[in-house]
Amino acid sequence: MSVGTVVSGFALLADAPWWVAVAAGITAVVLVVWPWQSAHRHDLLGRWFSGKRRN
């Protein structure tokens, strides 16, 4: 990617309506959180369910 492409991309984002920025933010959060959440989900749910069963 050239610098011009990055700059024009930022210019497009700056001119974009608010919902485009919101969608981009949500997408970034999902891309970061989903791998972490899926990597730890079984462990967390397993602990929670085993704690529930014991009581």
pTM greater than 0.85 (yes/no): no
Q: Residue 4 pLDDT more than 80?
A: no
What share of the chain in percent tops pLDDT 90?
A: 0
Q: For residues 34 and 54, what is the distance between their CA atoms, to the nearest angstrom?
A: 29
**Is 34 within 8 Å of 41 (Cβ atoms)?**
no
* Structure token pair of residue 40: 């730890």
Q: Residue 3 pLDDT more than 80?
A: no
